[in-house]
Amino acid sequence: MDFPTSIKTCFSKYVDFKGVASRSEYWYFALFNALASILISTLSQSLGSLFSIGVLLPSIAVGVRRMHDRNLSGWWILLPVFNLVQSCMTTVPTSRWSSGTFSASGQGRTCPNGHPVPDHSDNYCPSCGAPLSQ
């Protein structure tokens, strides 16, 4: 699929979340969005915002159709959002992959029961709730 056909297809399937999209369809539309967004934002900030809102739904739709082409559920396009939310969490549950300590010095505090306590925890151990001595 060539560039103009890709743009036409994505706008004609504005909210079509069914079916599939080829790689070229997806990436030409992404390229179009990036270039048009830069161009329009240079002319006018508010027009740029309007353009971004306008292409939001077709961008999601072509992303979902692209996932279908890979035999994945369309929900997979939310993976980056999930990762962003995870990375914004201040408290990470202690697991066998994490020590639960996040101090820059690498020397985290521990509660009276020996649980590692992140530096930003206040007065109680996040694992067992034991009060911490300061």
Give the nearest distance from C-beta 1 to Zn ion in angstroms.
57
Binding site for Zn ion (CB under 5 A): 111, 113, 115, 125, 127-128, 130
Give the nearest distance from C-beta 127 to Zn ion in angstroms.
4
Give the nearest distance from C-beta 109 to Zn ion in angstroms.
10
End-to-end alpha-carbon separation of the chain, Å?
64
Residue 93, both tokens = 């549950």
Closest CA to 58 of 23, 85, 25, 24: 25
Q: Of all helices (H) and strands (E), which one includes residue 32?
A: helix 23-43
Give the nearest distance from C-beta 83 to Zn ion in angstroms.
28
How many Cα atoms within 13 Å fall on the side-chain side of residue 8? 5
Q: Does residue 126 sit in helix, strand or coil?
A: coil
CB-wise, 103 or 113, nearer to Zn ion?
113
CB-wise, 40 or 132, nearer to Zn ion?
132
CB-wise, 68 or 115, nearer to Zn ion?
115
C-alpha triplet 45, 46, 50: angle, nearest 5°: 120
CB-wise, 22 or 94, nearer to Zn ion?
94
